[in-house]
A and B are shown apart, each in its own frame.
Chain A
Amino acid sequence: MIVMDEDDCMVSVAKFYLEFTVGESCGKCTPCRIGNKRMLEILTRITEGKGTMDDIEHLKSLAATIKDTALCGLGQTSPNPVLSTIDNFYDEYVEHVKKHTCRAKQCKALLTYTVNPEKCKGCGACARNCPADAIMGDVRKPHVINPFKCIRCGMCQSRCRFDAIHVF
């Protein structure tokens, strides 16, 4: 049992555990070597808003087979985070797939960073620290984030002293 709050995305957490098992898989048996990799790829797709409902079904079926056929304890337990998050937080998966949103605001690809013009003082701290040069604006005037350039690193938000950067 692991306790987390609403700031954690269950799909991302499942993905995080899969990254671990993919990294730790010795590679000997087929289900763990290839199956975990495929599950991780599907989870990555879902966290990037590119997943489908079929993907969720494939996850379930892969997880069942890997659990049933893997050679050692690592492989036999590696699907557990996927299975338990699908069991208990199915709606979060569906949200990622259908609405392309992450309620915990953890899945970077699904986030939109914007500047609240009412709070922005135009100090320029965000623009100076933006690694992607995605923020523009004149001094003492509200700044704007170019969503095509934004890499969603969160740097602007961490540098803003006026709480003017909002994430959706």
Chain B
Amino acid sequence: MTKEIKLACNVIEQVEAICDKHGNKPGELINILHEAQSLHGYLPEEMQRIIARKLNIPASKVYGVVTFYSFFTMTPKGKHPISVCLGTACYVRGSERLLDEIKRTLNIEVGETTPDGKFSLDCLRCVGACGLAPVVTIGEKVYGRLQPKDISKILEEVSD
């Protein structure tokens, strides 16, 4: 777990506003977490407590949901989040090798962020671009028909 940094007042206000917008309904928890994460990049403990208080549910419930869905994260993502597609098409066309190559190049595991905060690595199942398999996305950009040797090139390209 990352060291807890106190949230800025305006962030707290914005998160509370998100909860209010959804009527502070416990049933809206996932939507609220979605918006809070896109606001702040990740969901630190303090933010989860604020949401729990607003929705009048135990913080353990919020934490349970955050740890259940791989989309939610309690650690800040890298500036360039990398996702390797492990859908069937990408898999049979060698996406696991791409993944190994990225792990080796950046020296991080899946779910981690590089110490300089530039890259974070995740896997996903199908981005709907099976024709381009194997596919890697960095940020919003999709890279298709990749081979392990292309990895260092595209990482350099992005980090410039």
Q: Do chains A and B touch in the complex (CB under 8 A)?
A: yes
Residues in B neighbouring A13, C-beta threshold 8 A: 92
Residues in A neighbouring B148, C-beta threshold 8 A: 153-155, 158
Any A CB within 8 A of the CB of B28 = no
Quick one: which of B68, B92, B125, B147 contacts A20, CB cutoff 8 A? B125
Are the CB atoms of A2 and B88 closer together than 8 Å?
yes
Give the A interface residue count (CB, 8 A).
14
Residues in A neighbouring B86, C-beta threshold 8 A: 19-20
Any B CB within 8 A of the CB of A117 = no
Any A CB within 8 A of the CB of B35 = no
Any B CB within 8 A of the CB of A26 = yes
Q: How far is the CB of A84 from chain B (nearest CB, A)?
A: 15
Q: Please report the C-alpha to C-alpha distance between residue A20 and residue B85 in the assembled complex, in whole angstroms.
A: 12
Any B CB within 8 A of the CB of A147 = no
A1-39 contacts to B, CB under 8 A, are 2, 4, 8, 13, 16, 19-20, 26
With A20-B125, A153-B100 in contact, is A4–B92 under 8 Å at CB?
Answer: yes
Q: How far is the CB of B82 from chain A (nearest CB, A)?
A: 18
* A-B contacts at CB below 8 angstroms, number: 21
Any A CB within 8 A of the CB of B104 = yes
Any B CB within 8 A of the CB of A121 = no
Interface size class of B (residues with CB under 8 A): 10 to 19
Quick one: which of B88, B97, B104 contacts A154, CB cutoff 8 A? B97
Q: How far is the CB of A92 from chain B (nearest CB, A)?
A: 16
Are the CB atoms of A26 and B68 closer together than 8 Å?
yes
Most chain A beta carbons < 10 A, residue from B91, B104, B125: B91
Q: How far is the CB of A27 from chain B (nearest CB, A)?
A: 9
Q: Please report the C-alpha to C-alpha distance between residue A153 and residue B99 in the assembled complex, in whole angstroms.
A: 12
Quick one: which of A16, A20, A26, A158 contacts B149, CB cutoff 8 A? A158
Are the CB atoms of B149 and A159 closer together than 8 Å?
yes
Any B CB within 8 A of the CB of A131 = yes
Q: Please report the C-alpha to C-alpha distance between residue A131 and residue B86 in the assembled complex, in whole angstroms.
A: 23
Instruction: Give the residue name and chain of the B residue nearest to A17 (CB).
Output: B88
Q: Please report the C-alpha to C-alpha distance between residue A67 and residue B26 in the assembled complex, in whole angstroms.
A: 34
Q: Please report the C-alpha to C-alpha distance between residue A154 and residue B147 in the assembled complex, in whole angstroms.
A: 11
Are the CB atoms of B149 and A8 closer together than 8 Å?
no
With A158-B148, A158-B149 in contact, is A131–B104 under 8 Å at CB?
Answer: yes
Residues in B neighbouring A153, C-beta threshold 8 A: 97, 100, 148
Residues in A neighbouring B147, C-beta threshold 8 A: 158
Instruction: Give the residue name and chain of the B residue nearest to A154 (CB).
Output: B97
Q: Please report the C-alpha to C-alpha distance between residue A16 and residue B95 in the assembled complex, in whole angstroms.
A: 12
Residues in B neighbouring A16, C-beta threshold 8 A: 88, 91
